[in-house]
Amino acid sequence: MKSSTCSSVNSWLLLSSSSFFFSELVPSVVFALLYEYLSIDIAFES
């Protein structure tokens, strides 16, 4: 009983942390890359 509860809690933590990772970190990384790309593009244009 105890080990199964522990493993389910661990899997829930893993799932929630990975969903947090994808919902928070990935968009910020994408925005940072887009910003870098656009600022480099603007720098080359001017």
pTM: 0.45
- Tokens 């928070």 correspond to 24
Helix (H, G, I), strand (E, B) or coil at 46: coil
Instruction: Specify the amino acid at residue 33.
Output: L
Q: What are phi and psi of 36, to 5 degrees?
A: -60, -45
pLDDT along the chain (46 residues), means of 10: 82 88 88 92 77
Range of the domain at 20: 1-46
**Closest C-alpha to 24, from 32, 34, 13:** 32
Number of domains the chain is built from: 1
pLDDT confidence of residue 1: 56
